[in-house]
Amino acid sequence: MFLNENNDYLEGSNEFAGKYTGEVEEAFEICLESEREWHQLEMKMARAEHSAIVNEDAPLMEAAVGDFFAKAKQWFITLGKKIKEFFKRLVERIGVFFMGAKKFVAKYGKQLAALGNNEIKGVVKMFPKVANGGVDTGASILVQKAASVSDAEISDEKKTAEDFKLPTSEAISDAILGGAKAEETLTSTIVKNALNILKEESTVTKGLQTAKKACDDAIKDGIKACDDAKKGSVDDETSKLNNKISNYKVLSAACNSALGQMGGAYSKLASNALSVCKSAWNSRKGTNIKQKGYDESASILDQF
């Protein structure tokens, strides 16, 4: 009844470990920790269930099931707190980055925006959204839409993360970055596009808030499913309710992973935009604005 948990959203965890840093890794660690806690709940329930069956002890079974649903509810509450704290740190990091970016724009922005194509030299690797301009919330809308399932749609049959059709990391990256980096010749238009990205803190925050709400909604529905299950009896209906709870668990954890992917992609976008602006200024003035510390693969916290 409580075994064979569907945790496929953690598939490839060994390959993942050490591959990413910053926002993506932090979200993944939350998922791993929560999965371990859920597994402990299930193992405890399985042992109690086995003992009740062997001893034909119906009261023990009812007590064990009730205890499981109560602790499952607490699991959702705890996950919600973890995601809330992660989101707070993520927004704070973004705020720190854009505070520094605003200082850069205030100091160099007008002069950079006034440069003509004949005054800028160089070829720089950049994401399509930096070259073409634009910070949008498309990825968060994808997450929100996929997570906005009704209680009936969540089903009382166990589902996998793929069943919810949440956007993949590639889809999130494409929505925010526009694709892989490519070498582009610096132009005045590209520089202006990059400068505009450095002014879009509110748009980035809005996108993350939308994805965060998808996490919150899944957790809230999971808590309600636990409350509903506690009112039931130990029968097939309880087993179905457990499946529904499990599905909300998978959905909420997958939404959190998507939130981390979005944070990482926005970090790369903003860092790349700043790097492009620095390269343009350096090519114009023949001087060197310090580039060290602007590692686009690192957490946005490390950019200033």
CA distances in angstroms from 205 to 18, 163, 222, listed in the order given: 27, 28, 26
pLDDT at 294 over 60: no
Q: What is the DSSP letter of 124?
A: E
Contacts of 135 (CB under 8 A, 6+ apart): 129, 176, 197, 200, 203, 204, 207, 266, 269
pLDDT in tens, 119-158: 888 899 999 999 998 887 777 777 777 667 666 566 667 7
In a domain, 3, yes or no: no
In a domain, 2, yes or no: no
Query: How many residues are there in the chain?
Result: 304
The whole-number average pLDDT for the span 68-79 is 91
Whose tokens are 């970090």? That residue is 267
In a domain, 1, yes or no: no
Q: What is the total count of domains within the chain?
A: 1
**CB atoms < 10 A from the CB of 4, how many?**
8
The whole-number average pLDDT for the span 75-90 is 92
In a domain, 226, yes or no: yes
Question: Measured in Å, how far apart are the chain's first and last C-alpha atoms?
Answer: 51
Cα-based torsion angle of the residue sequence 146, 148, 151, 152 in order, rounded to the nearest 10 degrees: -50
Residue 65 lies in domain: 8-303
Pick the closest to residue 183 from 272, 114, 266, 261 (CA basis): 272
Total-model pTM: 0.79
CB-CB contact of 240 with 225 (8 Å): no
pLDDT in tens, 18-31: 333 477 788 878 88
pLDDT band at 300 (very low <50, low <70, confident <90, very high): very low
